[in-house]
Structure 1
Amino acid sequence: MGRQKRSLPLAQPTRYTPAVLEGIADGERAALGLSLARRTELGAVSAAAAALSRAEALEEAAAAAEPPARPIACRAGCSTCCVSKVLVMAPEVLRVAAHLRATRSAAELAALAERVRAADAATRGLTRLERAEARVPCPLLDERGACSIHAVRPLVCAAWNSLDVAACERHFAAPAAVPTAPMHSPSYEVANAVLAGLGWAAKEQGLDAAPLELIAALRIALERPNAGERWLARLPVFAAARDAEWQEDRRREA
């Protein structure tokens, strides 16, 4: 099956050319495909875990090879950007759901599931801009405003970085009027190349590789304990979480 190519962002000047990024994605496609080929939920979760580990290593290498103009300002407890729309692949959602089931009590999981449902109801179908303007916080933040699933966070979250906290705050206070904060583009690019590789690997296995909106997909995964089995059986269990904005963007590019 042919691989669907995805658009990868590029900042100039950089050694991370489109060819290099595609090479990273292709390498991850091959490596992550081995886990997905097992056709088990554990294999899918393992693929997501390997992808995040690889993205973190590549980001560290990118920062060493092309140091940012200023230190990356992101710190634990800073949740300014955690009102953004986050796109994920199904294995990432399955990993987050498995982590929550393993680390939360029944009461804690029930309360979290309710917060996820409320956030999904408030944000489903919103564009990136509309989501940022709605300022609905991620339901996975803890009471201190820190990410409660940082160890298993999505690749998009791992990729995002800022060189200026104040610029982040200004942007998210007025997303339509103020540009996003400056960032270390090479780190962002290599992590997104890994995400593309995960998507290509899923597609080659005949699995649904459409980007999913995190909260909508997590609601499904928490409500349906067999979501992983159904995804691996090529059933459209996450169809309601497919991101319409991403699909429209792809149609326009075609």
Structure 2
Amino acid sequence: MIERGRGDSQAIRANVAQASPALQAFFQAELERAKEVLAGGAESPSALAESAAARVAQHLERLGVADAPACTRGCSFCCRGRAVEALAPEAIAIAAFLAEARSAGELARLRAQIAEASQRARSLDAERRWREQTPCFFLNTETGACSIYPVRPLVCRLHNSVDRDQCQRASEDMTQNTAVPRHGAYEILYGLAQSAIIVACQDAGLDARSLELTTAVAIALAEPEASARWARGEAIFEPAATQREPALASQAAPRAVQPGLVPPERLAESAHNAARNARKRERKARRSGQR
């Protein structure tokens, strides 16, 4: 069993304890669901992130979140210039998605392509990746569409923007100092769902480190027993492990992608801002109605 990362689990729980009661309850519910999935056996891990993402989407719909992200099909600024990270269950799910309905020959070619892309991904440093705006391997650069969209990692789902033009300006800023305004509700809830998976995996003695996406998927595609081996506690994804810890990663750029929990001060800030903005909209609506 893998014993690394116990500090991350403790840090996540400590941060969540400082969040609002509603967010604590949301995290606890996701944690219990993740533990139930892990208890289901070797075939279950691939459903961890996908089922969590579906619940978050339903939750956001029930909340009637206003000012939804400006992200649309073909808008791919956030899919370039950064190393995309994922958790092991996500890599397993993506590999299964890619292998589905492919012939043996097609699958062999795909494995070779991803293996080659994995070597390149690991050879690029962050500065060069940003300077060249290197696209994610799974991005269709002609259409701007994600080829694994239904099973994309949670970190991709929480990474959003409410201003497409600002995303473009940020992608052209080689200093990486252009901030991108995000929708707090999406960032917080998807971040908490991911953190719950991290804690559940670590509590079960499983590898919950952040993984370089292309390399992790290459491993899962090359090893038919990847899911079972990971569920047994084997460090099968070791070559894909990044230097950053999932719960404690620092922000390298303004509002940059984070592979773990949104810090508690940002949870409080986002909740406060959301409530304040809602009050502003109500006052504006009342004033409009009085005219």
Q: TM-score, normalised by structure 2?
A: 0.72
Alpha-carbon distance, 1:33 to partner: 0.8
Residue 25 of structure 1, aligned match among 20, 24, 27 = 27
Residue 113 of structure 1, aligned match among 111, 114, 120 = 111
Residue 35 of structure 1, aligned match among 34, 37, 50 = 37
User: Which residue type is aligned with residue 103 of structure 2?
Assistant: S
The aligned counterpart of 2:57 is: 56
The aligned counterpart of 2:135 is: 137
How big is each residue's C-alpha offset from its partner over 1:1-20, in whole Å with a ceiling of 9 and x where there is no partner?
A: 9743339999xxxxx94554
The aligned counterpart of 2:160 is: 161
Q: Is the 8 A contact 1:113 1:222 kept in 2?
A: yes
Alignment of 1:199-210 (within 5 A): 199-210=198-209
- Percent of aligned positions with the same letter in both sequences? 31
Identify the range of structure 1 (241-250 vs 137-146) with the bigger mean alpha-carbon deviation.
Answer: 241-250
User: Which residue type is aligned with residue 124 of structure 1?
Assistant: R
The aligned counterpart of 1:86 is: 84
Alpha-carbon distance, 1:148 to partner: 1.3
The aligned counterpart of 1:213 is: 212
In structure 1, distance between residues paired with 2:13 and 2:169: 28
In structure 1, distance between residues paired with 2:24 and 2:173: 34
User: Which residue type is aligned with residue 161 of structure 1?
Assistant: N
In structure 2, distance between residues paired with 1:21 and 1:175: 36
In structure 2, distance between residues paired with 1:155 and 1:162: 15
In structure 2, distance between residues paired with 1:189 and 1:99: 26
Q: Is the 8 A contact 2:195 2:247 kept in 1?
A: no
User: Which residue type is aligned with residue 73 of structure 1?
Assistant: A
The aligned counterpart of 1:171 is: 170
The aligned counterpart of 1:13 is: none
In the alignment, structure 1 residue 103 sits paired with structure 2 residue 101: yes
Change (3 A) 1:167 1:109: farther
In structure 1, distance between residues paired with 2:101 and 2:90: 17
CA radius of gyration, larger in: 2
In structure 2, distance between residues paired with 1:199 and 1:248: 8
The DSSP-based 3-state class of the residue aligned with 1:6 is helix
Alpha-carbon distance, 1:99 to partner: 0.8
The DSSP-based 3-state class of the residue aligned with 1:245 is coil
In the alignment, structure 1 residue 72 sits paired with structure 2 residue 74: no
User: Which residue type is aligned with residue 110 of structure 1?
Assistant: A
In structure 2, distance between residues paired with 1:242 and 1:129: 19
The aligned counterpart of 2:276 is: none
The aligned counterpart of 2:237 is: 238
User: Which residue type is aligned with residue 195 of structure 1?
Assistant: Q
In structure 2, distance between residues paired with 1:250 and 1:21: 21
Question: Superposition RMSD on alpha carbons, in Å?
Answer: 3.1
The DSSP-based 3-state class of the residue aligned with 1:198 is helix
How big is each residue's C-alpha offset from its partner over 1:150-181, in whole Å with a ceiling of 9 and x where there is no partner?
A: 11111111112111111111111225244232
